[in-house]
Structure 1
Amino acid sequence: MRVNESTITVHFWNLAAYTSGQLVGDWVDLDQCADLDEFRDKVKQVTRGAEEILLSDSECDFGITFSEYQDLGSIWEAHSALLEIHEDERDAFAEYLSYIGGVESLDECVSGWRDAYCGRFDSIEEYAWQYAEDIYPELANCPPGFRVEVDAVAWESDHWISATGNVFRSV
């Protein structure tokens, strides 16, 4: 992956041709489009000017998915949102987007994901200890065997951890 790429590619079909048994369509790479108008033009080009289009598949290194009849504007918004986020945090953004409802919740995700994102950790316990040590630095000097156990259930009521280790405050 290169910097300043969302890695979103989407495959579109001409719906009228598709329902009549013809396969008219192709992949569109959003990173190859300068703006929404160029994206729309490329979709028209690959679907041969179809009035109705069907999104058959999409690929994104960050796991963002779209519905079959997703509006082209919201696909472009997801692409633009990814470009605004540092490349090291894009997977966390995509996981949060999926958690709160997908592309339909994009505006909510863009405005709130930074407040919810806590960082990447191996476990909720590791995050809890890091959080505690940030507030009470003297805990870092606690000898092994004297640390109390973290109540993971209590922490998980206010936080969640993804499969890749990104920790978020619950919404």
Structure 2
Amino acid sequence: MTDNTPKIYVACLASYNAGILHGDWIDLDGSETIEDRISEILDASPEEDAEEWAVHDHEFCGHLSEYAGTDTLNAIKEAFEKVEAEGIDWEVFCEYCAHLGHDIEAGQVEMFSEAYAGTADTLEHWCMDFLEETGQLDSIPENLRFYFDYAAFARDMEISDVFTIQHNGDTLVFWNR
């Protein structure tokens, strides 16, 4: 488990409606099922027949409805596990989802992996490497390559082809899909 493990606070609504704060934090990692943890919280409720619950807080990026179901919570858990397994920084993944205006859901790790184009100091440096690696400058004579405007190319790429996320001093580049 890392320091940035997504967490939710699940509250027992029977207790809440009786004026009692009863609930607990659940780490959305692989240690146990969300359904089992929610059952434990409800079983420990000071109110009899506690059946309903709500997410009253969460510690990860994005919006989460207090009435998010276990399908949504399991999708977030699955995304976190995949991100961890692929060595992706969870904060970067969250920034990616926020940039797209999406809440975290199933399938987004694959979208992230497909869209990730690389990291560089700046988008201009990424463009230099991209053009070199793809051979797109090969048709320009070497003595004229010094006149190529990488800054303008980077600006144009960002207008329609890529977007960037700044993280820990690096520029992460993603394809617009």
- Normalization by structure 2: what TM-score? 0.72
Instruction: Provide the rounded CA distance (Å) in 1 between the counterparts of 2:30 and 2:50.
Output: 21
> Which residue matches 2:131?
132
Conserved in 1, the CA contact under 8 Å of 2:28 and 2:76? no
Conserved in 2, the CA contact under 8 Å of 1:7 and 1:30? yes
For these two proteins, the number of residue pairs brought into alignment is 161
Conserved in 1, the CA contact under 8 Å of 2:29 and 2:81? no
Q: Which amino acid aligns with 1:166?
A: L
- % of aligned pairs identical? 24
* Structure 2 gap ranges (5+): none
Find the partner of 2:7 among 6, 9, 13: 9
Instruction: Note closer, same or farther for the CA distance 1:89–1:55 as it changes in structure 2 (3 Å cut).
Output: same
Instruction: Provide the rounded CA distance (Å) in 2 between the counterparts of 1:87 and 1:64.
Output: 21
> Which residue matches 2:17?
19
Instruction: Note closer, same or farther for the CA distance 1:158–1:83 as it changes in structure 2 (3 Å cut).
Output: same
Find the partner of 1:75 among 63, 73, 76: 73
Conserved in 2, the CA contact under 8 Å of 1:11 and 1:55? yes
Aligned residues: CA RMSD: 3.1
> Which residue matches 2:58?
58
Kindly name which structure, 1 or 2, has the bigger radius of gyration based on alpha carbons: 2
**Equivalent position SS for 1:70:** coil
Task: Give deviations 1:17-73, integer Å, cap 9, x for gaps.
Answer: 223321010111233633xxx32121122243742212111224xx35522111122
> Which residue matches 1:94?
94
Conserved in 2, the CA contact under 8 Å of 1:12 and 1:54? yes
Q: Does 1:166 align with 2:168?
A: no
Measure how far apart 1:13 and its partner are: 0.9
Conserved in 1, the CA contact under 8 Å of 2:82 and 2:109? no
Instruction: Provide the rounded CA distance (Å) in 2 between the counterparts of 1:75 and 1:59.
Output: 13
Measure how far apart 1:95 and its partner are: 2.5
